[in-house]
Chains A and B, each alone.
Chain A
Amino acid sequence: MGEGLRGSIETTGLTMIYRSGKVEVPAIREINLTVGPGEFVAIMGPSGCGKSTLLHLLGGLVRPTRGQVLIDGIDIAKLSDAERTAVRREKVGYIFQRFNLLPNISARANIELAKRIHGNGHANLYKDDHILALLGIKEKIGFRPTELSGGEQQRVAIARAVINQPSILLADEPTGNLDSHNSRLVLTLLQDLNQRLGQTIVMITHDSEAASMANHVIEMRDGRILARTHHFVYEPEFEGLF
């Protein structure tokens, strides 16, 4: 699976039309988007403009109505369900606004489940420790999601998303349910992961401060990309946090 290219995303003519009865809802219209390996991209736009749909398409959770989605050179739009799932398992980590941890098992079990699904349940213990330390959740690892604060839950969710070292992280409003302190913490973590591990990150956000952490900001309206702006990422105030 294209070991050379790591974490590149490219869509051409990407279109997603939802049908409910006779009504057609075009959620994504002819989007051409390129995100290079190791880039950190923020997506902004009003509610209903198709941000989440785009993220679902990039991770292969849904198949587009038309167009291509190349993940490290593989067009996942052409793949079967099982093949798309395999690409997602191999290359993509999802982070959600609602954290989406499995509620009945501990933080540790949530993270281990990701490893299990990936098929490396017994590998990389050293790296895991490093990631848990990086995310500052080592002490809370035995807790259930309900016993954790929102910020802690999201950090566990990030750990779960990155534990298998996917080349791409897709985050749908990861700070949407967090206070400003925890938002900053999570954003800094994402930035750190992006810089240290070189993971490509596509993050939806409504918060321009959050967006300012990214290399690029993509503006969406009505299923289209309006503009792509470049940011200089240098945030000295967060240095020395780790």
Chain B
Amino acid sequence: MTHSLVAANILSRPTRTLISILAVGTGVILMLIIGGITTGTLNDYLNRTMSVGADFILQPSGSTVFYAFSSAALPIKLADKLRETPGVGAVAPVLAKFSSADFGLVFGIDLATYDQFPGRLEILEGRNSLQGNEVIVDDLYAMSHKVSPGMTVEILGRKFTISAICRRGSVVRVFVPLPTLQQMNGTEDKVTIMFIKAAPGADVESVFRELHRAYPGLALVRTTDPSVLLADTRMPGLKEFRLTVVTVSMLISFMVILLAMYTTIFERTREIGILKSMGASKAFIVGLILRESVIISLLGIAFGVGASLIIRKLITTAFPTLQVDMTFVEVLRGSLLGLLGGTLGALYPAYKAARMDPVQALSYE
């Protein structure tokens, strides 16, 4: 049976087969994990931003989706002017700062204005107060850092005392007083973004148009639903980044299978000659090589998907605040792309094998 021939060929070089499987798997892991972290971070950002319950975000134009990489460029005085705009209900100026130690954002907020939003901090433990050296962290942060109200934590290189623990699901996990963060940052009267809420009864769309007209130099993003937010926000290079990851992953499968099958057919030149002497058609020989590479690719994909699930578990255990999104569709897409890469890699060797001269192949040593 040709099944047993394909199987025997795969087993005849166990090391090469294993390396090919590992390589195809590595491509799949790259695709799933890097893709998963990207989507996870993005979705996390979207959900958290939505959770504030603002209608708009005002940012300096040219800001990216991740506040972390935007500088503090909005004057704080702008908040008062915004509040005077007809239809505007609440404005919360925020200074965002990325803390690499916690791998997350720290928000400098004014609790009074922030509490005017639906997504205000829900205090689980401690006093609802944010002044001077006080900090409010969410329960996940408290859990992973094993801290409780009254204890001291170091944030962005400065000691803070925990005044309260809030429920997770807020826009960030760490909140400090806006003036304190401004001072630490050396930007006393500047903020990164403004959360804006339309006044009760006001038409959100007309408020949007009004603000847009009033501040043409600033980026106004609607946060009424995630797709609008995603579409309105600038994500420089995200598409290109994803494409690069997918291309690199596929190239790994492609090149490894190409090389493995290429050496395979030269090693088996005589056998190909024998098959031809037996009347095997070109299609039959192409089929043999393709089936072999498909089996290797499938084993590689199975390994890659399994390993990705384990890696995701390890990542989220080590970094509970990091989100790795791996939906069935993404796993399926990663698998199909890995298979496609492997199959494309086998095409040239298969073509080469099918074209071999039978007599020369038979006399090959």
B274–A102 contact, CB under 8 A? yes
B280, CB-defined interface residue at 8 Å: yes
B1–A121 contact, CB under 8 A? yes
Q: Which of B11, B275, B357 contacts A117 (CB 8 A)?
A: B275
A89-B4 contact in complex given A102-B271, A102-B274, A117-B284, C-beta closer than 8 Å: no
Alpha-carbon distance A94/B275, docked complex (angstroms): 11
Q: Which of B274, B276, B281 contacts A86 (CB 8 A)?
A: B281
A112–B9 contact, CB under 8 A? no
B277–A89 contact, CB under 8 A? no
B2–A100 contact, CB under 8 A? no
B-contacting residues, A20-49, CB 8 Å:
none
B4–A160 contact, CB under 8 A? no
Q: Which of A96, A101, A103, A118 contacts B279 (CB 8 A)?
A: A118
A105–B279 contact, CB under 8 A? no
Alpha-carbon distance A113/B272, docked complex (angstroms): 13
Residues 269-289 of chain B: 1 if any A CB is under 8 Å from the residue's CB, otherwise 0?
011001111111110100000
* B5 proximity list for chain A (CB < 8 A): 102, 104-105, 109, 113
B281–A59 contact, CB under 8 A? no
Residues 1-44 of chain B: 1 if any A CB is under 8 Å from the residue's CB, otherwise 0?
11011001101100000000000000000000000000000000
A90, CB-defined interface residue at 8 Å: yes
A94-B8 contact in complex given A102-B271, A113-B1, C-beta closer than 8 Å: no
Min CB distance B281 to A, Å, is 6
Interface of B is mostly: helix
* A106 proximity list for chain B (CB < 8 A): 4
B322, CB-defined interface residue at 8 Å: no
From B279, which residue of chain A is reached at the shortest CB distance? A89
From B354, which residue of chain A is reached at the shortest CB distance? A81
A187, CB-defined interface residue at 8 Å: no
A88–B279 contact, CB under 8 A? yes
B277–A94 contact, CB under 8 A? yes
A61–B271 contact, CB under 8 A? no
From B361, which residue of chain A is reached at the shortest CB distance? A61
B278–A104 contact, CB under 8 A? no
Min CB distance B267 to A, Å, is 11
* A82 proximity list for chain B (CB < 8 A): 281-282
* A117 proximity list for chain B (CB < 8 A): 275, 278-280, 284
A85–B9 contact, CB under 8 A? no
Residues 341-361 of chain B: 1 if any A CB is under 8 Å from the residue's CB, otherwise 0?
000000000000000011100
Q: Which of B1, B359, B362 contacts A112 (CB 8 A)?
A: B1
From A109, which residue of chain B is reached at the shortest CB distance? B4
* B274 proximity list for chain A (CB < 8 A): 100-102
A61–B279 contact, CB under 8 A? no
* B271 proximity list for chain A (CB < 8 A): 102-103
B279–A90 contact, CB under 8 A? yes
Alpha-carbon distance A176/B2, docked complex (angstroms): 29
* A105 proximity list for chain B (CB < 8 A): 4-5, 8
A225, CB-defined interface residue at 8 Å: no
Residues 244-282 of chain B: 1 if any A CB is under 8 Å from the residue's CB, otherwise 0?
000000000000000000000000001100111111111
* A114 proximity list for chain B (CB < 8 A): 278
Residues 113-152 of chain A: 1 if any B CB is under 8 Å from the residue's CB, otherwise 0?
1101110010000000000000000000000000000000
A59–B359 contact, CB under 8 A? no
Shortest 7 CB-CB contacts between residues of A and residues of B: A89-B279, A104-B8, A88-B279, A94-B277, A61-B358, A109-B4, A105-B8
User: What are 18 pairs between A and B in contact, CB < 8 Å?
Assistant: A56-B359, A61-B358, A62-B359, A85-B282, A88-B277, A89-B278, A89-B279, A89-B281, A90-B279, A94-B278, A96-B277, A100-B270, A102-B5, A102-B271, A102-B275, A109-B5, A113-B1, A117-B278
Sample of 18 further A-B pairs with CB below 8 A, known A59-B277, A62-B358, A86-B281: A61-B277, A85-B280, A88-B277, A88-B279, A89-B280, A89-B281, A100-B277, A100-B362, A101-B274, A103-B271, A104-B5, A109-B1, A109-B5, A112-B1, A113-B278, A114-B278, A117-B275, A117-B284
A interface, CB within 8 angstroms of B:
56, 59, 61-62, 81-82, 85-86, 88-90, 92, 94, 96, 100-106, 109, 112-114, 116-118, 121, 160
